Each structure stands twice: as C-alpha cells, then as structure tokens.
Structure 1
Amino acid sequence: MIQTISPFRRILIIFTLVFSGEIIFSLPFHVARFFRPSFLEVFQLNNTQLGDVFGLYGLLAMLAYFPGGPLADRFSAKILMTISLWLTAAGGLYLVQIPSLSGLTWLFAYWGVTTIFLFWAAMIKLTRLWGGENSQGKAFAVLDGGRGFVAAGAATIGVVLMALVAPEVTNGAEQQRQGLQAVISFYGIATFSAGLLVLLIIPSENHQDKSDTAQFNESSDKPIDKPLDNPVNSPIDKPGEQQSGQSVRSEYTLWEDIGYVLKRPVIWLQGLIVLTAYCGYKGLDYFGLYLTTVFSYTPIESSQFVANVSYVRLGAAIVAGVIADKIGIGKTVTAIFVLLLASFLIYLPFGDAETVWIKVNIVATFLLVFAVRAIYFALLEESQVATSRTGIAVGIISVVGFTPDIFFAPIAGRLLDGAPGVTGFHHLFLLLAVISVIGAVASWRLLTHIKQNLS
C-alpha cells in the first residue's frame, strides 16, 4: 500500500536533512574553515600539522564510506543518522578543552568514523528518495544549497560569539582562546540538537517492502529499481522477466550487488568527478588565511568575509539544480569545471593585490564550487543507478570521491608553509586549476558514456 505524506511534512523532512547534513561536519570542519587563523593560533599549529590531522580524519572517513553504504540499504536511516550526530557532538566536549596535537589527532580520527560510517550514505539515500524520479537535480541542489545556508548562518553566529567574548582578538591570547571555546560549544550544542530533530522528523523506512520512496513523495507508482547503466547481457535484463525492485532484490545477495556496481564505468567516473569537485571545496578552507596573509585582514574580518560569501551557496545550488534539470546534469557539471579552471588561473597574475576584481573572483570561485557540489550526486539518476543500490553506489563513489580528505590538506599545508606569503597561495591555486581540468575531462567522458549507452 502506497503511503502519502503532506507537502508540509516533506518540507520538514528536507529541512531536517539539510540542517543535520551540514551541522554534523561543523565541529571537524567549520571551526577550522571559518576561524582558521584563530584555530591555528589557539591550538599552536602550523598549516602542515593541521593538514596532517585532517589527513587522518580523511583516512578513517574513507574506510567508513563503503561499509556505510550497505548499512543504509538495510537499516533505518533515522536511527543511523541520530547515532552519528550524537557521537559527533560528544567529541565537542573534548575539543572545547583545547587538547594537544596528539589529542587533536585522535579526536579527528574518531570524527572520521562518526561523521561518515552511519550517516553519509543514509543522508544521500533519503535525499534521493525525497526527490523522486523527476527532480533529482533540484533535490540535491536544495540539500547542498540549504547546507550552505546552514553553514553560513552558523558561522555568522560563531563570529558574533567570538566578537562578544574576544573583541580584541588580535591582542589577547586568552581572549582568543575563550572566543574559540564559545564557538566550539555552540557547534556542539547544534550537533546534538540536530540528532533530536532527525529522530522526531525523519520517517522510518519499511525495509520489508522496497517502495520506501512512497514515504517521501506525495505519490509514486513507478518501479524504483531501474537497471544500472543498462549493461548488455545483464541477468537483470533477461527478456520476459518482471523488473520490479522486489523481484530483483530477492535474486541478488549483497556481494552480488557490490560486484555488479563495481563493474560499472559510470560509478568510477562519478567518483573521479566528486574527487575533483571536492578538492575545489577543500580549497575554499584556505581563503580566510589568504585574506589575513596576503591582504592583512584581522582574524574576525576574514571569518566574517568567508561567512558572508558562503551565503551564495544556496543560490548557486538552486540555480545549478534548475539548469541541470533542464539541459542535463552532465553538461552542467562539465561547464562548471571549465569556468572553475578560469577562476583559479585568474589568481596567478592578479591575486597578490586586493582589488574589486579579485573580490569578485573570490565570490565567483565560491559560487562555482558550491554549484558543482550541489549536483554531482544527482548524476546517479542520469546514470540510471538503481534506487535499491543507492547506498552501495554512494559508498563506492564516496570512497573514491572524498579521498581529498586524506591528501589535500597535507599537500596544501606543505605548499603554504614551503613558500610563505602569496607565492604559496599561487602554488595552491595552480594545483586547483590542474584538478579542474581533470574534473572537466571526467565529466565529458561520463556524458559521452551515458549517451552511448542510451542510444
């Protein structure tokens, strides 16, 4: 029996996914992203040391992505997400004590598991179910754009808290420490609250029948288990067989599903697209430091600037989603990577002087990165990935796509520490330009592959 939910409940569901989907990363990422100069000062770290801490987070996260996928296909997403949020919030109780480098390293390793293992694939699956078959671009755009709005809003509150606690942050080490502790406490409380919200709002899926999508959409009569990449001679596509999600799932074991997904070229291409886009996103973490190092902003000024620019994420995501649904997700992603290449190259000759055009280019860089992040998981639908295998596909794509959590921060830290000042940032921007080329080529190749298999 197909269940329906009211439009208001659907709004509550996507709001909960948006809020929890961003705030779970606030403790391990937002504090260092929006308040990087203060974070480095209070914890007495250089860029290389902080990069290595993030590298360990990334290693544990990478190991957690794949096993988290099958769990999302077989257990209640709301329970998995709630546990993740509460375990992550618990780590904030330790971070607020300002631990040593060793303690910080173990904490980020812990967060590498708690923020990903039970959470990530469950969130992506619920978002895909919420979007249905015809609004995947918009669904993921709302998710990522909304997450950006949450990140920017939370950062703005954090900046206000820090300014209240430490108004002369550049002159007092103890004030700076207290201000950062206030920010950490705020993010910890928000993360715990998000767990409560998930527990109360998100519906419990019925894992006995595979029409889970009905619980997230106002109506759904179409079969949800579509062939992945439509491979020739696939057992799923034998003539005369019923192609319902239930019949397919009854014939395939977990390991057969995993093997089937691993053989699909579209999965690996999407993994490479996510990897390159995520490198661009990780690069945004360094713009606060760029402003303080090259343009002599104070820590609070740079934090406020980055927080303000981050508000464009919502608009960028929505526009990208609308365009993607009209002209195609693959075409949109390819075009964004080409524009990102141009944006990063502009910093090389002009990025050592504070001008209006450089500020405009910073905003453009944020816009483009947010846009591509908003829609890259919508490629699952364009690539005809079966809904019942979403968790497995997301797990594999994420293992590949989020490896920058392992290598990007250590590399960026060494680039910046090895060539202090604007030269180090030139090296970083050149690296990001090269990565954008790789992303454009991978997107074009995926688009070509999809066309060939649909023709």
Structure 2
Amino acid sequence: MAFSLFLTALGGIYMSTYPSYLGLSILYGYWGFTTIFLFWAAMIKATRVWGGQHRQGIAFGLLDGGRGLVSFAFGWLGILIFSILLVNEIEVSSLLERKEAYRYVVLICSIIITLIGVLLIIVLKDNPNQQTSSPRIISTRQVFNNYLKVLQLPSVWLLMIIILCAYTGYKITDIYSQYANEVMGYNETDAAAIGSNLLGIRIIIGIIIGLLADKTRSSLMMIISFAITIIGALIFALGFIEAHTTILFGFTIITVATGVYAFRTLYFSAIQEGKIPMAVTGTAVGLISLVGYTPDIFMGPAMGILLDDSPGALGFQKVFLMLAIFALVGLIAAYLFHRLNTKQLPQDL
C-alpha cells in the first residue's frame, strides 16, 4: 500500500507540469494501476484482518466513513490552498495565475500522500503473533490455483452481482445535483450543495451501518438496504416528485442515499460472513471488483443516453427506473447470499 501511495504521488508531480491530453490520458491509466491494481485489494484485506472475527462491520464502516471524511477534507483543503495562493480575485485572475495556484494544490496533495505512505510503513506493521497460511512469496501456479479456488465459491459470484447492483446506485448519485437544477429548479449553488451534504450523510451512515452489521449480519443489512433503495428509486421513477414537492424530494434523496451509501460499508464486510478463506482474500476482492465495479464503464453512457433521449423529468425517471431494476436483482442476490451462509454456522477462517 505504501508503494502504491508513493507511485500515486509521483503521478501528481507529473500532473503539476500540465501535460498534454495524451499525457493526461496515460496518467489516468497509470493512476488506475497505482490506486486499484496495487492498493485496493491490499487495503480491503488489511481492513478485514483488523476487523477480526466480530468487528467486520465497524471496521469497514470506519473505512468508508473515513474515506468520505478525507474526500471532504481534501476538497476543502484544495479550495483553501487555491484561494490563498491566488494573487487576485478569481473573477479577474488570468489563466496563468490560476494555473500556477492549482499547480501548488496538486504538489501539496502529492506531498501529503507521500507522508501518508511513510506513516503507513511506520504504523501499520504485520503482527508477528498472527498465524497466516498465506506465504509472502507464492508461485505463479499457486496464484492460478487461488483463482480457481475462489471461483468455486458461490459467495464470490453472489457478491459480484450484489456489488455490481449496489455500485450502480452509487454512480447515480452523480446526477442528484443535476436533477435538483433541471427538475426542481434549484440554482447552481444550491444544487451543488446537495452533493456536498450527501458526503456528510455518507460518513454517518458508514459508522451506523457498520455497528448494525456487527450486531446482526451483513447480508441482512444488504437486503434492507436494497429494499430502501428500491422504495426511493420508485418514488423518483413514478413521477411523484415535482418542482413544488421540495420536502418529498429531500426525503427521497436521503432515502436513496441511505440505501446506496450503506453498501459502501457492507460490500466487503460480507466476505467474512461468506466464509471466504483469509489466505485468498486479495484474490477474491480482485475478482469481485473486476465485475462489481463495471458500472464505472457503462453507467455514464447509459445515463447520458436516457437523459438525452428523454429531456427533462422523464429522462431522470428512466434513470431511476433502471436503478430500481438493478436494486431488485441485487435484493434477490443478497437474499440468496443470506440463505447460503445461514445453512452452516460461522466458522473460523
């Protein structure tokens, strides 16, 4: 994880030089390698190890709540640095002045990421008393066998479907501000504030859902979260929300956000319940993520097509109908996951 942070920071330094469009495209792929390929599975496994047998919910709840808090803090930090370094008011500043101020925003963020990497090496160390069946260096054959072993687990396939359906809902949160502006008639500032306020909700939901998941079961909370998402999505899809129904709009936004953000905690806290061996956690996370996060590829174009073909409220209704369908599929998968892992008593992995 530390190595991936160092490489990510190097990418930030390159970005501060204002590369060409081709350079930015390559940088985007490079960051995909440093943050997803190198970092993601290792972070999930480290969180699972930290959570132990009985604290998976709160471990992943704190992880996602913390991610939301850090995203919020970095956003405001960037704005603060930019405003301090900008010589004149932004309305009268030249492009060169704005570029110079933004360069330092990127460089300072890269420095912070580097320091976090150093801190990670110092603070997060392997527990010498913890026994693990996973060797530090494994052969290519063992890697292949791990993939075969993971693919034989029904819980892995169900989690692929669950995360794909849940992440579809997360991607739809990108249009909340647009909905507020184009359908509800909010001005740009008030519409943008909705997205910022939802970040605060994400932090609270992450911790609460994590505690509830530890008290009950992650699969049960996933079933409830999908049900909540379906209710909120159908209120949008059936056209109950209009420009004058401000209270209903706010209530429904919070309802959908609650269902969607709950999964940011539940995604991988369910790995323990699914009885996926600790030794192949990284492999399982990689395969699950490969399918589960495909909405990053298709949701943007899908929403764009629906909104372009049906301008106004109708297009948004179609988007939320799509969300309701995905949530229904996810609800079925979550129920099957719950049934599958209820047949046997939990066992130490």
The TM tier, using the shorter chain, reads 0.7 to 0.9
Conserved 8 A contact 1:145-1:370: no
Alpha-carbon spacing, 1:107–1:254, altered in 2? closer, same or farther (3 Å)? closer
* 8 A Cα contact 2:225 2:258, kept in partner: no
2:304 match? 413
Q: Distance in 2 between matches of 1:366 and 1:104?
A: 32
Q: Is the 8 A contact 1:166 1:175 kept in 2?
A: no
Once residues 95 and 363 of structure 1 are traced to their aligned partners in structure 2, the CA distance between those partners, rounded to angstroms, is 36
Partner of 1:346: helix, strand, or coil? helix
1:364 aligns with 2:284: no
Match among 271, 285, 293 for residue 160 of structure 2? 271
Q: Does 1:195 align with 2:85?
A: no
Q: Quick one: structure 1 residues 134 and 305, their matched pair in 2 at CA, closer, same or farther if it must change by over 3 Å?
A: same
Count, aligned residues: 338
Distance in 1, matches of 2:116 and 2:241, equals 39
What do the CA deviations read for 1:87-111 (whole angstroms, capped 9, x no partner)? 2223334445665654443322222
Query: Which segments of 5 or more consecutive residues in structure 2 lack a partner in the other structure?
Result: none
Corresponding residue of 2:65:
145
> Cα gap change, 1:143/1:257 in structure 2, threshold over 3 Å: closer, same or farther?
same
- 2:213 paired residue among 324, 328, 343: 324
Aligned to 2:273: 382
What letter corresponds to residue 69 of structure 2 in structure 1?
F
Q: Aligned-pair distance for 1:368? A: 2.2
Q: Distance in 1 between matches of 2:252 and 2:186?
A: 18
1:310 aligns with 2:199: yes
Give per-residue Cα distances to partners, 1:193-238, cap 9 Å, x unaligned.
32232222211466xx9625xxxxxxxxxxxx6xxxxxxxxxxxxx
Structure 1 partner of 2:177: 288
Question: Are residues 1:136 and 2:56 paired?
Answer: yes
Partners of 2:63 and 2:314 lie apart in 1 by: 36
- Native 8 Å contact 2:61 2:209 kept in 1: yes
Question: What's the offset of the Cα at 1:296?
Answer: 4.1
Q: CA 1:166–1:98 in structure 2 vs 1: closer, same or farther (change >3 Å)? A: farther
Aligned to 2:76: 156
The aligned runs of 1:41-440 (5 Å cut-off) are 81-96=1-16, 101-160=21-80, 174=95, 184=106, 187-204=109-126, 211=131, 253-294=142-183, 295-298=185-188, 301-348=190-237, 349-353=239-243, 355-440=246-331
Percent identity, please: 35
Q: 1:390 to 1:409 in 2, by over 3 A?
A: same
SS in structure 1 at match of 2:342:
helix
1:148-168 Cα deviation digits (max 9, x unpaired): 122223233345556775998
Q: Which amino acid aligns with 2:67?
A: R
Measured at CA, do residues 297 and 181 of structure 1 come closer, stay the same or move farther in structure 2, by a change above 3 Å?
farther
| Preserved CA contact (<8 Å) 1:275 1:400 | yes
Contact 1:95–1:104 (CA under 8 A) maintained in structure 2? yes
Q: CA deviation at 1:170?
A: 8.6
Mapped partners of 2:96, 2:173: distance in 1: 27
Q: Cα offset for 1:409? A: 2.2
Flag the 1:259–1:91 CA change in 2: closer, same or farther, 3 A.
same
Question: Structure 1's 442 and 258: CA in aligned 2 closer, same or farther, altered over 3 A?
Answer: same
**Matches of 1:340 and 1:166, distance apart in 2:** 46
Provide closer, same or farther for how the CA distance between residues 114 and 281 of structure 1 changes in structure 2, counting only shifts above 3 A. same
Q: Is the 8 A contact 2:66 2:203 kept in 1?
A: yes
Q: Do the aligned partners of 1:210 and 1:388 also contact (CA within 8 Å) in 2?
A: no
SS at match of 1:119: helix
Tell me if structure 2 keeps the 8 A contact 1:261–1:267.
yes
Q: CA separation in 2, counterparts of 1:192 and 1:117?
A: 18
TM-score (norm 2): 0.83
For residue 186 of structure 1, report the CA deviation from its aligned partner.
5.4
TM-score by length of 1: 0.65
Q: Distance in 2 between matches of 1:351 and 1:96?
A: 44
Deviates more, 1:353-362 or 1:372-381: 353-362
**3-state DSSP class of the match of 1:385?**
coil
Partner of 2:332: 441
Return the offset for 1:132: 0.9
CA apart distance, 1:426: 2.7
The CA distance in 1 between the partners of 2:269 and 2:337, in whole Å, is 13
Cα deviation for residue 419 of structure 1 reads 4.0
Uncovered stretches (5+) of structure 1, i.e. residues with no partner: 1-80, 213-224, 226-244
1:408 and 1:313 map into 2 onto residues whose CA distance is 21
